[in-house]
């Protein structure tokens, strides 16, 4: 989902020649709308989340291809590249995107750990029926979570564009598997209700360093995909086995 919308993001603005700030907002809005669509299909029609997201993934991918005519777009307006710019802390170059990411992690950490809505998200993942019986509007909550998810994919897309400097409709196609690996490595259960955001950050760092390391070692990207595939199965298997024990 994230990957495809990532590419979706820059194509709209450049072709339309709109004000760049407006176009970023529009791109994020499209992503959030896709998230809301997921959430609506899952909560109203009670469709299985996996199928719904797989379906919208393909729809978004196809729309991106059609819209961009499968062309990579370069010469992006400056505003789109802002988060790819760096400043120096000592010897290290830090992108503004990293700062944005850390701020988002901080917000997510606080909300999930310390506020009622955040705790209700965990409760929902633990026992949806019990959560509903306690008077929490679980359908509305799921819709909000999916919509926010869409928004976050959009921001991820924006960051990807800022970092690479091009709007590539093929971009990030393997990122969805990477993100699942990162989240599961970080201790989040795919069966719901367990995990925390700091673990996810760690998991993402592990996957990122791992990927980067393989690239530096000169491992071809197909083999990287192969290894990540194995890694995700291992991570989920560990999750599954530890659940069974519990």
Partner 1 sequence: MTEPRPTPVLEARGLVKRYGHVTALDGADFQLLAGEILAVIGDNGAGKSTLIKALAGAIIPDAGEILLDGKPVRFHSPLDARRQGIETVYQDLAVAPAMSIAENLFLGREPKRTGLLGWLGALDKKRMLAEAMRHMQSLKIGIRSMKQAVETLSGGQRQGVAVARSAAFARHVVIMDEPTAALGVKEGNMVLELIRRVRDRGLPVILISHNMPHVFEIADRIHIARLGKRAAVVNPKHISMSDTVAVMTGAKRPEELPALAFA
Q: Residue 61 has which token pair?
A: 């991918």
Does residue 78 interact with partner 1 by CB under 8 A?
no
Provide the token pair at 173: 């196609």
Residue 239: CB atoms within 10 A of its CB come to: 19
List the interface residues with partner 1, window 39-58 (CB under 8 A).
Answer: none
Q: In DSSP terms, which residues pair with 89 in a beta bridge?
A: 92
Q: Which is nearer to partner 1, 12 or 197 (CB)?
A: 197
- Candidates 66-74, 95-103, 118-126, 177-185; binding stretch for partner 1 (CB under 8 A): 118-126
**Do 65 and 169 meet the contact criterion of CB atoms below 8 Å apart?**
yes
Least CB distance from residue 189 to partner 1, whole Å? 8
| Residue 140 touches partner 1, criterion: CB under 8 A | no
Query: Which pair of structure tokens corresponds to residue 163?
Result: 């970092």
Task: Pick the closer one to partner 1 by CB: 16 or 107.
Answer: 107
Quick check: 65 binds partner 1 (CB under 8 A)?
Answer: no
Interface residue with partner 1 among 116, 226, 230, 234 (CB under 8 A) is 116
Does residue 244 interact with partner 1 by CB under 8 A? no
With CB under 8 A as the rule, give the number of residues binding partner 1. 22
Q: Is the sign of the CA dihedral 62, 223, 83, 76 positive or negative?
A: negative
- At residue 76, the 3 state secondary structure works out as coil
Q: Does 119 bind partner 1 (CB under 8 A)?
A: yes
64: number of Cβ within 10 Å = 24
Nearest approach, Cβ of 14 to partner 1 (angstroms)?
Answer: 38
Q: Which residues of 80-103 are buried (b: 16+ CB within 10 A; e: fewer)?
A: bbbbbeeeeeeeeeebebeebbee
- Least separation in angstroms between residue 191's CB and partner 1 is 10
Identified binder of partner 1 from the candidate list 111, 144, 166, 227, rule CB under 8 A: 111
* 120-139 binders of partner 1 (CB under 8 A): 120, 122-123, 126-127, 129-131, 133-136
Residues of this chain that interact with partner 1 (CB under 8 A) are 110-111, 114-117, 119-120, 122-123, 126-127, 129-131, 133-136, 193-194, 246
């Amino acid at each position: 989902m994230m990957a495809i919308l990532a590419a979706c993001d820059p194509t709209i603005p450049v072709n339309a020649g709109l004000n760049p700030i407006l176009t970023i907002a529009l791109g994020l809005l499209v992503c959030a709308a896709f998230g809301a669509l997921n959430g609506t299909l899952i909560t109203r029609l009670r469709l299985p989340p996996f199928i719904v997201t797989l379906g919208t993934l393909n729809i978004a991918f196809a729309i991106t291809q059609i819209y961009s005519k499968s062309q990579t777009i370069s010469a992006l307006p400056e505003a789109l590249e802002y988060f790819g710019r760096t400043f120096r802390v000592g010897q290290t170059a830090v992108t503004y995107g990293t700062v944005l990411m850390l701020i988002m992690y901080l917000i997510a950490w606080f909300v999930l750990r310390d506020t009622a809505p955040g705790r209700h998200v965990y409760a929902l993942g633990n026992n949806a029926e019990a959560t509903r019986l306690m008077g929490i509007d679980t359908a509305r909550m799921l819709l909000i979570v999916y919509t926010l998810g869409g928004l976050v994919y959009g921001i991820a897309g924006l960051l990807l564009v800022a970092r690479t400097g091009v709007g590539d409709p093929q971009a990030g196609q393997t990122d969805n598997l990477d993100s699942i690996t990162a989240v599961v490595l970080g201790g989040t259960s795919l069966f719901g209700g367990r995990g925390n955001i700091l673990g996810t950050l760690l998991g993402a760092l592990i996957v990122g360093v791992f990927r980067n390391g393989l690239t530096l070692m000169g491992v071809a990207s197909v083999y990287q995909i192969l290894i990540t595939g194995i890694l995700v199965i291992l991570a989920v298997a560990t999750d599954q086995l530890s659940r069974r024990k519990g």
